[in-house]
Amino acid sequence: MANQSMQLDRVFGALSDATRRAIVMRLCDGEASVGELAKPFEMALPSLMKHIRILESSGLVASEKTGRVRMCSLQTEALATVEVWLAAQREVWEQRLDRLEMYLRN
């Protein structure tokens, strides 16, 4: 359970930044080079690489260097932990709302 909690912290932490969310959304369309990922942002390449390293450490992105080009791809396995957690939270809140509805009816 502690490992799952740490994974959730890393994923939510990585997704807490708008630049990293934009990178993840771009990678939903398929793999991309760091240069392609950098185009929409007004920042130096080293700054973008910091964002990519955070995404990699969270497990959301993998990168591989071939020659002088670093390609990045989305790793959906990290999202599975979030999906399980969100489903559990949804169930808890649906039960609470159902109890509230019953209370208000009585």
Does residue 55 carry a pLDDT above 70? yes
Place of tokens 């390609």: 71
Closest to 72 measured CA to CA, from 80, 84, 64:
64
Under the banding of pLDDT at 50, 70 and 90, the label for residue 4 is confident
What's the confidence (pLDDT) of residue 5?
Answer: 84
Q: What is the pTM of this model?
A: 0.82
Q: Alpha-carbon distance 44 to 64, whole Å?
A: 20
Q: Alpha-carbon distance 41 to 6, whole Å?
A: 29
Q: Alpha-carbon distance 52 to 24, whole Å?
A: 10
Does residue 8 carry a pLDDT above 80? yes
Q: Which residue has the higher pLDDT, 72 or 82?
A: 72
What's the confidence (pLDDT) of residue 3?
Answer: 76
Closest to 78 measured CA to CA, from 53, 56, 63, 52:
56
Averaged confidence pLDDT in the chain: 93
Does residue 97 carry a pLDDT above 80? yes
- Identity at 16, one-letter amino acid code: S
What's the confidence (pLDDT) of residue 1?
Answer: 60
What's the confidence (pLDDT) of residue 51?
Answer: 97
Q: Alpha-carbon distance 20 to 54, whole Å?
A: 8
Does residue 69 carry a pLDDT above 90? yes
**Which letter, b or e, does each residue of 22-32 get, where b requires 16 or more Cβ atoms within 10 Å of its Cβ?**
ebbebbeeebb
Does residue 93 carry a pLDDT above 70? yes
Q: Which domains does the chain have, with CATH numbers?
A: 1-105 (1.10.10.10)
